[in-house]
């Protein structure tokens, strides 16, 4: 269950791969730009964007609490380890800011909040120019997250195939 000096434990792995799948699903929202969203991906997977995004918001909070409990059992003292750590912190920051900005966008524009058919916040009840302005960062932050993830995958593959230091085994 717990992480150790050599590898991540089951909980961290489930968080990692579960959230990775959901984040890739979320990035399909870029597909709205293709054929004005008139294709099967946009019609079948993308309509869950708000719901899955709210699930991710909850998951990232739980994951950060988990990471905090594991901070003393993980080992990363080398300079490369510190860079990796900074990269992971940046990913976490974006994983919080991306859904948070979306919530600001939905509330600020008075759209309310809905998850899997349940109305969590009524439409029109929370209109605010400030929230709408904060929310207008959502697409930019999501693009930044997508770039960071591409970099993260690139580094992971480089460690696995070029450096062959077994870092993929830590999380797989």
Residues in contact with ligand HEM by CB under 6 A are 12, 15-16, 19-20, 23, 26-27, 29-30, 32-33, 49-50, 53-54, 56, 67, 84, 88, 91-92, 95, 98-99, 102-103, 105-106, 113, 138-139, 142, 145, 149, 152-153, 156, 167-168, 170-171
DSSP label at residue 126: S
CB of 44 to ligand HEM, least distance (A): 17
CB of 148 to ligand HEM, least distance (A): 8
User: Nearest to ligand HEM by Cβ — which residue?
Assistant: 53
CB 50 within 8 A of CB 115: yes
Nearer to ligand HEM, 40 or 65 (CB): 65
CB of 53 to ligand HEM, least distance (A): 2
DSSP label at residue 125: S
Nearer to ligand HEM, 5 or 40 (CB): 5
CB 56 within 8 A of CB 19: yes
Nearer to ligand HEM, 25 or 40 (CB): 25
Nearer to ligand HEM, 98 or 134 (CB): 98
Nearer to ligand HEM, 40 or 139 (CB): 139
CB of 23 to ligand HEM, least distance (A): 4
Q: Distance between CA atoms of 117 and 21, rounded to whole angstroms?
A: 22
Provide the b/e sequence for 65-97 (b: ≥16 CB within 10 Å).
Answer: eebeeeeeebeeeeeeeeebeeeeeebeebbeb
CB 13 within 8 A of CB 171: yes
Q: Of 26, 50, 35, 30, whose CA–CA distance to 113 is shortest? A: 50
């Amino acid at each position: 269950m717990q992480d150790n000096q050599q590898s991540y434990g089951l909980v961290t792995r489930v968080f990692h791969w579960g959230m990775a799948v959901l984040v890739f699903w979320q990035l399909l929202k870029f597909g709205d730009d293709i054929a004005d969203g008139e294709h099967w991906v946009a019609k079948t997977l993308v309509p869950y964007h708000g719901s899955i995004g709210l699930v991710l918001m909850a998951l990232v909070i739980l994951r950060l609490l988990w990471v905090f409990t594991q901070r003393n059992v993980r080992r990363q003292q080398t300079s490369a380890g510190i860079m990796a750590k900074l990269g992971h912190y940046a990913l976490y920051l974006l994983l919080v800011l991306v859904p948070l900005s979306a919530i600001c966008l939905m509330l600020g524009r008075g759209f309310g909040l809905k998850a899997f058919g349940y109305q969590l916040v009524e439409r029109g009840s929370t209109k605010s120019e400030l929230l709408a302005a904060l929310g207008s960062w959502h697409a930019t932050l999501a693009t930044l997250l997508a770039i960071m993830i591409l970099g993260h995958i690139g580094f992971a593959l480089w460690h696995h195939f070029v450096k062959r230091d077994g870092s993929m085994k830590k999380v797989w």
